[in-house]
Structures are given as structure tokens and as C-alpha cells.
Copies of this chain bind each other. A is one copy, B any other.
Amino acid sequence: MLSPSWRRFALPSFSRYSAASTTCRASHSLSRLNSVTAQDVDHFAKILPPTSILSTLAPFSLAATELDIYNNDWMGKYHGNATTVLRPKTTQEVSDIVKWCHEKRIGIVPQGGNTGLVGGSVPVNDEVVISLANMNQVRSFDPISGILVADAGCILQSLTDYVAPHHHVMPLDLGAKGSCQIGGNVATNAGGLRLLRYGSLHGSILGLEVVLPDGTILDQLTSLRKDNTGYDLKQLFIGAEGTLGIITGVSILTPPSPQASNNVIFALPHFDNVLPLYQMVKRQLSEILSAFEFIDRTAYDLAVKHGQGRALSDEDVEGAQCFVLVETSGGRREHDEEKLTTLLETLLEADKPLINTGVLAQSPAQFSSLWALREGVTEAVSKEGKAYKYDISVPLSTFKECVDITGEHLRSKGLMREGAVRHVIGYGHVGDGNLHLNVVADTYSSEIQDALEPFIYELVASHRGSVSAEHGIGAMKTHALHYSKSAVSIAWMKKIKELFDPRGIMNPGKVLE
């Protein structure tokens, strides 16, 4: 579980990031918004049945604790004070609620599965929460084209299960699939494990239905792969984290299911070999390559230390500076195995081999255990100590440099020592240019924090990288946006926000400061 490691942010020492200060900052900018009153709740009761309303206000008068799961994120890091949660079942209900909030200048937080990592889906103050959980019906699925149209509140796993018997898969997959909702996935432009293979949601999403901040329903819910009739407005809502409107329906292209998956782990003598290896693997495996994951030596050792198995022998790992996990997904198992075997042979028979060794999974159990090693890094890190986690995009060639420079910087500050930082590790999705840079310390301290930020953000900016490859901005990184976006870009984001939401009611305090 990630929870324990993430709870650090609730510690008082993190004054800059503490929930209290976030609320404080947000309160200031939200001062022109109104709180929900009993009269508002009366009005909501005309739109929704009583079962769709949760409120601490009369006549519902629930205990505040009954709204806890809506007011707090799963990490316990962000805390809101909503008095009222609405759970509409139809787009029209959403529209009617939003119209009222618009008229009354009441802030709104659209909430999906509330599985985000940056506080995007909980109130910063006492905004009304509109939960999409009751909008959970598949509207249509065409098994020929693979086009699925669903309510925004459908859970990702349930959609995966829905299309599976038709031999299709959802084009995205993430750890939170059992509770995250497709509308939230779209609103946060979720990346996840299948991006290398199926691309981003900007390509997979064919249509959206959105309730705009004045309550207007923008119906762009087409199920067409090609439609060049004017501006592709729906794209704006992909990744806008609910600040421009509430996504209520989604049309998405689901690809045919692969018939077989295989994986292999490589031990590499030098990081410098990762990129030539990636190039060779891409060329040889071509369309069946579905993951190319990087783990540096420290991350590997931590995973092994904390019980994530041992895919390679001591001899195999000796002299290895890093590891690469390659996954294939294809239409016929024997073809994929043949391609993988040829790749292994080519690699091992080379004059100057890029790898020390490679282990090919021979069974579903081995397949899972190789993945467990990669996915277990997160858990191992949290067992090892307190982690400062950065989710960045930088050029592939700079992955190791980013890890090394961060280590040197901490060393120069005298922080690479017992009682302070133990490890700086790197792992992540080479195929997506997405590096998880983790600093593992004995304790959380403002000294380490101050050494890391804005240092890492500036490092990212120097490579024209992204300070948030996939988690988004939410309430957490609004102050860091300028490291990845120019002043012109931010000014234009603000103009777009102002155009769609001049009253600033839609997910206030998120994305833009």
C-alpha cells in the first residue's frame, strides 16, 4: 500500500505543503464564492431524490464524519470542509445543480473515484462535491468498432470487464483501476501502464459530454474515429482536472485484446546501454512491445531486500548498474516468444553485449513475479524509509544524470548521511520518458525538502521536462506550474479558464493559482 509513505505530507513540518496552508491559500482566492446554505439544499432536493443528497445542513443534518470520504483524499493529505455532497444520476441533474451553483456562486468539486495524488478531487474549502459515482451505466458498446460510450462514473475495472468478453481492452490501465472512474481518468489525462502501446487519451477519446460551469450541456459525445468539423473542443477537458466543466459521458476507442503477454528482465552493466537497448528492442519487437521499464541498481536492491523476490541470481546481478523489464503483448504466443528468443540471442551473442544477462518468464507465475519486482519498488521504498517522490518527464538520455545530480547536490549539502538521505533512486517508464525519482530518507525534514525543491523542478526545467508527467497539478503543484509551462502558456490557460468559468466556481484552487 502506498498510503503510509504518502501520509508524510500531513506532518506539521511540511508547512509549505500542509493541508492547513493549502486551505488558507485557497480560501483567500475563493473568498468571492458562497457557502452552501440550507436554502440551497432545499433547492437541490427539488432536483435530486433524498438518497442522492448527503449534507450536514438541515434537513439532512448528517454528522460531518459521514462526508469524510468525500472531504479527504485516500492518502490523508488533502482535507476539505464540504457540508454537502450531491450524487446525481443523470446529466440533466448535473446540469440543474451546476446552473444553481452558477447563479449562487457556489464552488463545485467534481469527484470521481477520488484516487488522485495531487488533491485535485477534494474541496479546498466548503465547495459542494458533485460525485459522479451514481452515473455508472454503459450507454453503448459496438463490438465491431470497439467504441464504448459510458457514463463518467463507470469504474475503470468494470469497463475492462465489460469489454473483455468482446475481446477488447481498455486503452489504459492503472493501479487504481478498481476504484478510479473513467471520467476522472479523462479529466486527469491518466497515463498508466498501457500508454506505450495504445497512446494517450487525447488519441483514444472520441467524444465527451460535459456540463459547463453555467450548466450548459456540451454534447460532443460522438462515436466517430474521424471528424474534422471545426475545433476539437473536447480536447480541452482532457487533463483540465475538472476546472473547465464536469465530464458526464465518455466515448472511447477500445483496442482488440492481445492474445498473449510475455516478459523478460535484463541486467545491464551500464546505464549508457539502456538507450541502445531500447532502440534495439523497439526495432526487433516493434508492434508487440508493450512496456519497457527501467529500474536502477539501488531500486532493484531495495526491492529484493524488502521481499519482492529475486528474479536473477547473485551471479547475474553482479556488476549490473541497472535493470530493464520488457513486456510484449501480441496476437499469437508462439510468434511473440520467437521474437523474444531471437532478441535474447542477438543480445547475448553480440561482440559487445549490451546486457550481462536476461531472464525470460516461462510461466504466468514467473510473468507476475517479474512485474512484482518492478511494481514492488514503490512498496520497498516505503519500507526502507521516508520517500520524497517526483513524477517527472525528462529526455531519456538524462534519466541517470537526473538521479546522479540530485545525489551529488544532496551530498554537497551534507545530507547524504545516516539520519538524513539514504538513497536516491530512479525507476520508471523509459518508453514514455517518465522517470520516478525517489529520495529515500530516514526522516522527513524541511532541510531535505528545501534542498530538493525547487532544485529538482529547476533541473526538470533545464531539460524542458515536465514537473508532472502523469499525476497532474491539482492543488499540490499550482506553484510549480511555471517550471514546465511558459508565462505565455499560463496566461492563455487563465484566459481559457476565464472564458469557460468567469465566476471561478469549477474546482477552485486547482491547476491555476
Contact = CB atoms under 8 A, between A and B. Distances in A.
Interface string A260-300: 00000000000000010011001111111000000000000
Given A146-B282, A226-B466, A232-B236, 9 more contacts: A144-B396, A202-B232, A203-B203, A203-B204, A230-B481, A230-B511, A235-B236, A287-B287, A499-B499
A378 interface: no
A143 B396 CA distance: 11
A119 to B, nearest CB: 14
Among A203, A275, A396, the most chain B Cβ lie within 10 Å of the Cβ of: A203
A16 interface: no
A191 interface: yes
Contacts of A499: 495-496, 499
A512 B233 CA distance: 14
A467 B229 contact: yes
Given A282-B256, A433-B145, A496-B233, A188 B473 contact: no
B167 A283 contact: yes
Interface of A: 142-146, 167, 188-189, 191, 195, 199-200, 202-204, 216-220, 222-233, 235-236, 238-240, 244, 256, 258-259, 275, 278-279, 282-288, 329-332, 335, 338-339, 393, 395-397, 429, 431-434, 464-473, 477, 481, 484-486, 488-490, 492-493, 495-497, 499, 511-512
A471 B286 contact: no
A281 to B, nearest CB: 10
A473 B229 contact: yes
Given A220-B489, A256-B282, A499-B499, A395 B142 contact: yes
B144 A472 contact: no
Contacts of A339: 331-332, 335
28 contacts: A143-B279, A144-B275, A145-B395, A191-B226, A199-B199, A219-B489, A223-B395, A224-B466, A225-B433, A227-B393, A227-B466, A227-B468, A228-B466, A228-B470, A229-B468, A229-B472, A230-B485, A230-B512, A231-B239, A231-B493, A232-B236, A233-B489, A233-B492, A258-B286, A286-B330, A286-B331, A288-B331, A332-B338
A231 B282 CA distance: 31
A331 B285 contact: yes
Contacts of A488: 216-219
A275 B145 CA distance: 9
Nearest to A285: B331
Instruction: List the 3 closest A-B pairs by CB distance, nearest first.
Output: A203-B203, A286-B331, A235-B235
Contact of A489 (B191, B230, B278, B512): B230
Contacts of A259: 286
Contacts of A225: 195, 200, 393, 431-434
